Amino acid sequence: MEYSNTIKITCKPEHLESYFYQKMASEGGNNGFAKSLGIHPSTASRDKTRIFKLACQVVSEYGLPRHVVSVPGSQSQ
């Protein structure tokens, strides 16, 4: 994958974390999150902070590939 062909994320990783926590809470909470990952709810409860923090740092550092992002109101590629 070419790094020049990625979408740079301009917010801080902490803002992404906050977004994901809110999204998780609104879509089934810890049990829904655990089920979507295929892990036990107690594991999700214990590890979600570490999972979210690491994922957000990676996305913030490397961006996202253009082909995985759709912007509402724009034409599909």
Domains and CATH numbers, the chain: 3-68 (1.10.260)
Give the three-class secondary structure for 7: strand
User: In three state form, how does the secondary structure of 9-35 look?
Assistant: CCCCHHHHHHHHHHHHHHCCHHHHHHH
What's the pTM value of the predicted model, to 2 decimals? 0.69
Total number of residues shown for the chain: 77
Give the three-class secondary structure for 1: coil
What average pLDDT values come out for the chain (77 residues) when binned by 10 residues? 73 91 87 89 90 92 86 68
